[in-house]
Amino acid sequence: MASSADDPSHAKNNGDNYSDPNYRIQIGKKLVIFPNKIIALGSNGSLVCEGKYDDREVVVKRLLKTHHKVATKEIETLKKSDEHENIVRYYGVKYDRDFIYIVLQRCICNLADLIYICEQFYDYEMVNGDGSVTSVSVSQSVGNLESLPSVFEGVKLTKDGRPLPFLLKLMRDIVSGLDHLHELGIIHGDLKPQNILIFKKPNGIFCAKLSDMGISRHLPHDMSSLSHHSSGCGTTGWQAPERLLQGRQTRALDVFSLACIFCFCITGGRKHPFGNTLDRDANIVKNMVNLSFLNKLREAHNLISQSLNPNPKSRPTSAEVLCHPMLWDSKKRISFICDTSNRAQLDLNSDFSKALEAIGPEVLGTNLYGYGRMKDWVNFVDKQIMTHLKKFKYKSWVFLDLLRLQRNLFCHIDQHPIIKEWIGPEAEDFDGYFTSKFPKLFMEVYKVVYKFFEEDQRFKKYFE
């Protein structure tokens, strides 16, 4: 039983007026709760509202005492993991006669709200705990919607369908937080955009934090999976098939959900690999996946298709996801191409150089009557660029010369202001230009380099 100091019936408030948005409940000496300032509603009668803890702005997750096992599990997970910057911070827990109050770090919004606001996509469907679907607007899920557009003013998430640095960083944050949980032997079990929070640091940098570990599972020491009958269930449309079929649960469960979240991010919340809201679970069980909307994003298609493999053992680990080129920024991608070209030019007759040359027809296609001969890559590059680079004497039928073109152009672009103006001044412009012209190039080159030089010192930095 809670002490009288922890009992809201003895707490100071401003008139017990539940219609007053400033109505407050004080629990003990530190915690003040504003139950009418609701941020989110959860399952089993839980809610998340605003609060103050030691005069610090926080959020308070309120659960019925009958759900103390769920609360205990979440607190245990947070205590074990929240020192990582991509896990929401835990500050404490309080009790009264009816409820448990978990005090957590205050964030701006969740990932779903960020995506919808930046994409100006304000209406979407939400699946309720009983499986029914409700049409929701962002204004219903964000307490201070009117201020959020100004917080994210000027933020762009994608360009020509490709994630921009802001979004890439948040996606890396999500994987980093998940990898931390997995290293600790914790399966999150309910990854979805609404359970990823967006936090703004004092220096103005945004980061993503995993939250809502109420159904997380701790793997016993030296074990990699849980039994077929492990308790807890995730959210409709975001669960791996083994969870839906009550199979053994491993860390790969979260990687499957992560892939669905990546699709959500890249498409501005408009696409899901398993279709419409009501059909998703059935399609997941049947492995009826559609990634056609990623056909021009080969790195994303490669990673997400692997991560959605119905066989959990065939999915990459969270650590492998973190290293995948889908999450590389443009500077790293350009550096990789430059290093690859330099290595190939050292010995054009090496097995490595020959393997690179052999992917040319896959990247560029073949001539109709050329008996498999690769198309001339110069036909894909704007004439303004080739005119200024005649001195390098490129062979348009040699794939390695296309890599050499990118290397030379990047290293000497300041000497060609006309080209720089044509492509754009930033690394993202350069990378975006060549990716738009040769969408298959980077992933195919990556596969060859990984095969030959996974342990090579020069390339190890890309694969670790």
Whole-angstrom distance, CA of residue 113 vs CA of residue 139? 9
pLDDT in the model for residue 71? 87
- Rounded CA-CA distance 339/363 in Å is 19
Rg, the chain, Cα only: 26
Q: Per CATH, which fold does 4-106 belong to?
A: Phosphorylase Kinase; domain 1 (3.30.200)
How many Cα atoms within 13 Å fall on the side-chain side of residue 122? 9
Would you state the pLDDT for residue 6? Answer: 45
Which of 156 and 391 is assigned the larger pLDDT?
A: 156
Average pLDDT, the chain: 84
Q: Specify the pTM.
A: 0.86
pLDDT over 80 at 364, yes or no: yes
Rounded to 5 degrees, φ, ψ at 197 are: -100, 150
d(CA 111, CA 192): 9
CA 171 → CA 165, 176, 218, 263, distances in Å?
A: 10, 9, 24, 11
> So where are the chain's domains?
4-106, 110-327, 330-463
**How far does Cα 422 stand from its chain's mean position?**
32
The per-residue pLDDT for range 188-235, each reduced to its tens digit, is: 999 999 999 999 999 989 999 999 886 666 655 444 444 444 444 557
Token pair 């369908």: residue: 161
CB of 62 closer than 8 Å to CB of 104: no
- The domain made up of 110-327 has a fold known as Transferase(Phosphotransferase); domain 1 (1.10.510)
Q: In whole angstroms, what is the distance from residue 309 CA to residue 240 CA?
A: 9
Name 92's bridge partners. Answer: 103
Q: Report d(CA 203, CA 206) in Å as an integer.
A: 9
Among residues 6, 96, 179, 190, the one annotated as catalytic is 190
Question: What CATH superfamily is the domain 330-463?
Answer: KEN domain (1.20.1440.180)
- Separation CA 188–CA 219 (nearest Å): 11
Q: Is the pLDDT of residue 33 over 80?
A: yes
More confident residue, 441 or 411: 441
Per the CB < 8 A criterion, the answer to whether 277 and 290 are in contact is no
Segment 446-462, tens digit of pLDDT: 999 999 998 898 899 99
* Cα 36–chain centre separation: 31
From 446, 175, 447, select the one nearest 319 (Cα to Cα). 175
Of 104-113, 307-316, 331-340, 363-372, least confident by mean pLDDT is 363-372
pLDDT class of 44 with cuts at 50, 70, 90: low
| pLDDT score, position 137 | 53
* pLDDT(86) > 80: yes
Neighbour tally for 112: CB within 10 Å: 23
What's the token pair of residue 243? 């969870």
Q: Of the given ranges (50-64, 139-153, 326-340, 430-444), which has the lowest mean pLDDT?
A: 139-153
pLDDT tens per residue across span 260-310: 999 999 999 889 999 988 899 999 999 999 999 999 899 999 999 999 999
pLDDT reading at 128 higher than 70:
no
Sort strands 162-163 and 158-159 into parallel, antiparallel or unpaired.
antiparallel
Task: Classify each residue of 77-99 as buried b or exposed e, where b means 16 or more C-beta atoms within 10 Å of its C-beta.
Answer: bbebbbebebbbbbbebbbbeeb
SS3 letters across the chain: CCCHHHCHHHCCCCCCCCCCCCCCEEECCCEEEEEEEEEEECHHHCEEEEEEECCEEEEEEEEEHHHHHHHHHHHHHHHHHCCCCCECCEEEEEECCCEEEEEEECCCEEHHHHHHHHCCCCEEEEECCCCCEEEEEHHHHCCCHHHHHHHCCCCCCEECCEECHHHHHHHHHHHHHHHHHHHCCEECCCCCHHHEEEEECCCCCEEEEECCCCCCEECCCCCCEECCCCCCCCCCCCCCHHHHCCCCEECHHHHHHHHHHHHHHHCCCCCCCCCCHHHHHHHHHHCCCCCHHHCCCHHHHHHHHHHCCCCHHHCCCHHHHHHCHHHCCHHHHHHHHHHHHHHHHHCCCCHHHHHHHHCHHHHHCECCCCCCCECCHHHHCCHHHHHHCHHHCCCCCCHHHHHHHHHHHHHHHHHCHHHHHHHCCCHHHHHHHHHHHCCCHHHHHHHHHHHHHCCCHHHHHHHC
Q: How far apart are CA 179 and CA 184, in angstroms?
A: 9
Kindly state the percentage of the chain with pLDDT values over 70: 82
Residue 327 in contact with residue 264, Cβ under 8 Å?
no
152-161, 246-255, 299-308, 367-376: which has the minimum mean pLDDT? Answer: 367-376
CA distance 410 to 390: 16
Q: What angle do CA 274, 275, 281 make, to 5 degrees?
A: 55
Q: What local confidence, expressed as pLDDT, does residue 133 receive?
A: 57
For residue 307 the two structure tokens come to 């991560």
Backbone angles phi, psi at 38, to 5 degrees: -85, 130
The secondary structure of 66-110, three-state, reads: HHHHHHHHHHHHHHHHCCCCCECCEEEEEECCCEEEEEEECCCEE
Confidence check: pLDDT of 142 > 60: no
Is residue 130 annotated as a catalytic residue, yes or no? Answer: no
Closest to 267 in 3D by CA, of 313, 312, 304:
304
66-70, 268-272, 415-419, range with the lowest pLDDT = 415-419
